[in-house]
Structure 1
Amino acid sequence: MYIQQAFKSLHEWWRYLVGFIIIFVASQIGTVPLIIAVILKTVSEGGSIFSIQDQNVLMTVLDSNLTLFLMLLSFAIGLLGVYLVVKYLHNQPFVQLTTSRKKTDWGRVFFGFAVITITTLIATGIDYYSNPEDYVVQFNLVPFIILVAIAVVMIPLQTSFEEYLFRGYLMQGIGVLAKNRWLPLIITSVVFGALHLANPEVEKLGNIIMIYYIGTGFFLGIITLMDEGMELALGFHAGNNLISVLLVTADWTVFQSNSILKDVSEPSAGFDVIAPVLILYPIFLLIMAYRYKWKDWGGKLFGKVEEPIALAEENTQNSTYIE
């Protein structure tokens, strides 16, 4: 079982607290290059460094490709923090944070990637041909090639950091401490969504978009628990962000890029904002459940998390020996 993997490593509560702090600090250190670059650029052009406190201003100070790279760098550093914490603080093989299988199933990763990529391409194509006035083709070969190089390398690092932190580290940590599956699912999903409150999309569309962010957190958590591993979530999250960055951008999104299309329509918080949660995600769940023969939904989503008897006896013996 996926959450039970944590019992094979050092899993005292204080380790997860210290580990989370270390990971948070690492991700914040990763933002320093972006801050320095923006300050240097602003000062060199005679501007005020106080103006960069506005995120919209910060996004326009540097070239969009450079901004994207530096923004994603913080996630890459955060992912390194996760790896070091898991390896040295918990003495846990990284594969056990990834999956309950003996090795990572890359077929599952690519399937999750393909599901959202194909869906996004089809949906965007239909909308483009139905409402061509809402888009501007801004394809520029050289900036786009640079964007592809950055995105292909850095986006998977960004999404993997979020998945390993929420669906991996915190899911397992809260699970072994709470001894159940539903609490880590709820906490990680809500916190994952809440962290998007600072995104410019929330300011533009309103708090209703939080249904999408939190709903996405629940979807990724559910497929992780049902599949006893993060592979599907890793692929899905990477595909969603990668195709979004390369295909369509807008002035009000968190990632503004040299994508193929630019959405120039006036955004509105309609049914389309929550449609993925209410329509697409249930369909994706059915497809994945059929393909991977998922059973015992109640047990896997709401069941207890118990330490395997063999491990419990081994830990007791080791503790007695040490004393």
Structure 2
Amino acid sequence: MNFIQQAYKGSNDWPYYLGGILLIIFGWQFIGITPLAITAVLYSEDFNEFSSAANNSFMTLGINKNLFLFLMILMFAVGLLFLFLTIKFIHKRAVKTLITSRKSIDWSRFWFGFVVWGIVAVSITLLGIFLEPEYYTWNFKPIPFFTLVAISFLFLPLQTSFEELLFRGYFMQGLGTWFKNRWVPLIITSVAFGLLHGANPEVEKLGYISMVFYIGTGFFFGIVTLMDEGTELALGLHAINNIVAAFLVTTDWMVFQTDALFIDTSDPSVGIEMFLPVFVLYPLLLLLFSKKYGWTNWKDKLVGKIEKP
């Protein structure tokens, strides 16, 4: 059975998905946000300040950056837990079927994607700093930085795994069994992934042209998942992408405002770094993965039909 067909191992009628989505949202957006909301109350002078800060995800309250990052990740971690509970108790299938079509999770694939994109992301970032050093300020503070590194490597993968398994796992499989093909879920999940990030501060600062990056990244992760019949590569790619974004460079207008090594002081603008991954690096990575893992039959894997086994 291929990756999308794994959904047939459980209950797939629409009431199950409706119940599952509601449960996931409840865990993610209500239970998961509670620790952050309580912390925000403690940092607020009064209800008006709390209410105003809520419009900016409480980023204006002066909460310690590492604590704030951890509390934000915790929200996604709770969402991931509720996603697993949904698969096990509502759809009544093994959590593994949400992750891969293989007999067991292939962690070597996760680490290959993790290492490859880590090298690429760090190299491109350092090259940018080397070429335009006037826009970067050294920001190394030992205790905050190493705390950030620990939080990033230990907990950020929970956030990225929730997003991957929700979009490339839960939604991809569900839509695939409903529409009986691969291309509809690929398009819907990729666009939805991009729209989810539309609330990020980057989009407000850079404009909707920046959605090319987010939607393009969604398509990249989706193609990798369908071609590889599992999410392991995408999980590794997404994890290291956010880890590097958290600890290497920060700004005062990005979604990750951290005690990173460098502060980017340049004015927000749409540059080549927004399009280079989508139109150059992602295709090259697809070529690399296809050679390493012997991907074939691209047309059927990306637009072919899905039949109930």
Same fold by TM-score, threshold 0.5 exceeded? yes
1:110 Cα offset (Å): 0.4
Task: List per-residue Cα deviations over 1:10-40 (Å, max 9, x = no partner).
Answer: 2222211210111011101211211221122
Matches within 5 A, 1:80-95: 80-95=81-96
Q: Give every structure 1 segment of 4 or more consecutive aligned residues whose post-TM-superposition deviation is greater than 4 Å.
A: none
For 1:42, give the aligned amino acid. Answer: S
Task: List per-residue Cα deviations over 1:150-198 (Å, max 9, x = no partner).
Answer: 1122200000000110000111011111111011111111111001111
Whether the 8 Å CA contact 1:38–1:61 is kept in 2: the answer is: no
Partner of 2:42: 40
Matches within 5 A, 1:97-136: 97-136=98-137
Q: Secondary structure at the match of 1:61?
A: coil
**TM-score normalized by the length of structure 1:** 0.92
Bigger-Rg structure (1/2): 1
CA distance in 2: counterparts of 1:63 and 1:80, whole angstroms:
26
Whether the 8 Å CA contact 2:53–2:61 is kept in 1: the answer is: no
Matches within 5 A, 1:187-206: 187-206=188-207
1:57 Cα offset (Å): 6.0
**142-151 or 197-206: which moved more?**
142-151
Task: List per-residue Cα deviations over 1:92-151 (Å, max 9, x = no partner).
Answer: 111111111000000100011112110011111111111111111111111112112211
Matches within 5 A, 1:1-323: 1-29=2-30, 30-43=32-45, 48-55=49-56, 58-308=59-309
CA distance in 1: counterparts of 2:209 and 2:261, whole angstroms:
28
1:60 Cα offset (Å): 4.7
Task: List per-residue Cα deviations over 1:246-276 (Å, max 9, x = no partner).
Answer: 1111111101111111111112113331221
Task: List per-residue Cα deviations over 1:49-77 (Å, max 9, x = no partner).
Answer: 23313417634520101110111111000
Residues 56 and 103 (structure 1), Cα distance of their counterparts in 2 relative to 1, 3 Å cut: closer
CA distance in 1: counterparts of 2:169 and 2:153, whole angstroms:
22
For 1:84, give the aligned amino acid. Answer: L
1:304 Cα offset (Å): 0.5
**TM-score normalized by the length of structure 2:** 0.96
CA distance in 1: counterparts of 2:177 and 2:3, whole angstroms:
11
Whether the 8 Å CA contact 2:40–2:61 is kept in 1: the answer is: no
For 1:39, give the aligned amino acid. Answer: V
CA distance in 2: counterparts of 1:105 and 1:57, whole angstroms:
38
Q: Secondary structure at the match of 1:55?
A: coil
Task: List per-residue Cα deviations over 1:281-317 (Å, max 9, x = no partner).
Answer: 1111111111111000000000000011xxxxxxxxx
Task: List per-residue Cα deviations over 1:227-263 (Å, max 9, x = no partner).
Answer: 0000000000001001110111111110111111111
